[in-house]
Amino acid sequence: MSLIQSSPLLRSALALDAAACAGMGLILAAAAGPLAAPLGLPMEFVRGAGLVLLPCAALIGWFASRKALPRLAVHAVIGVNLFWIADSIAILLAGWFAPTGLGIAFVLAQAAAVAIVTELEVIGFKRSGAIDRSAEAAALR
């Protein structure tokens, strides 16, 4: 396993990602009914999106608290975020739903926010240093 020494920027970006996931997840899961009609999205979809975000928030928050992380963990967070952005755009282009103007703006705004956080994570990842094998073994103990 290849570990990195997380840069302060990476830990901050992961903490921001976790907080955003938790906040959005709680809002979407708890207020799916009232949000569905104004957004033009099915209530089950809105609630499901919120519920998916909650365990993601917990895991990303745990990653943010670590000084050493597996490279693969950071790649996974960035990859899932990129998938979320692509899926958000697909929702608008594929015609799966008929979002309102507010719904379109909401989907685009949250995708843009995820893109910004992801870019911060990429920059923070690039600023993170590799851990040598002896330090890596000690970090795993």
pLDDT at 117 over 80: yes
Report residue 93 CA to chain centroid gap: 21
| Residue 134 confidence (pLDDT) | 65
What are the boundaries of each domain within the chain? 3-140
pLDDT digits (tens, 9 = 90+) for 122-132: 999 999 999 87
Q: Is the pLDDT of residue 15 over 70?
A: yes
**DSSP assignment of 69-101, as one string?**
EEHHHHHHHHHHHHHHHHHHHHHHHS-SS---H
Tokens of 101: 């103007």
Which has more confidence, 135 or 26? 26
Question: What's the angle, vertex CA 79, arms to CA 113 and CA 92, rounded to 5?
Answer: 55
pLDDT band at residue 140 using 50, 70 and 90 as cut-offs: low
Average the pLDDT over 2-10 and give the result: 96
Give pLDDT, residue 111: 98
Contacts of 114 (CB under 8 A, 6+ apart): 20, 81, 84, 85, 88
* More reliable by pLDDT, 47 or 138: 47
Looking at residue 66, its pLDDT comes to 96
E-strand stretches of the chain? 3-5, 68-70, 129-130
Instruction: Give pLDDT, residue 136.
Output: 52
Q: Helix 101-127 and helix 32-39: axis angle, to 10°?
A: 110
Q: What is the pLDDT of residues 76-100, one digit of tens each?
A: 999 999 999 999 999 999 999 999 9
What pLDDT score does 133 carry?
66
Q: What does the pLDDT look like over 17-64, one tens digit per residue?
A: 999 999 999 999 999 999 999 999 999 999 999 999 999 999 999 999
Neighbour order of strands in the sheet with 68-70: 68-70, 3-5, 129-130
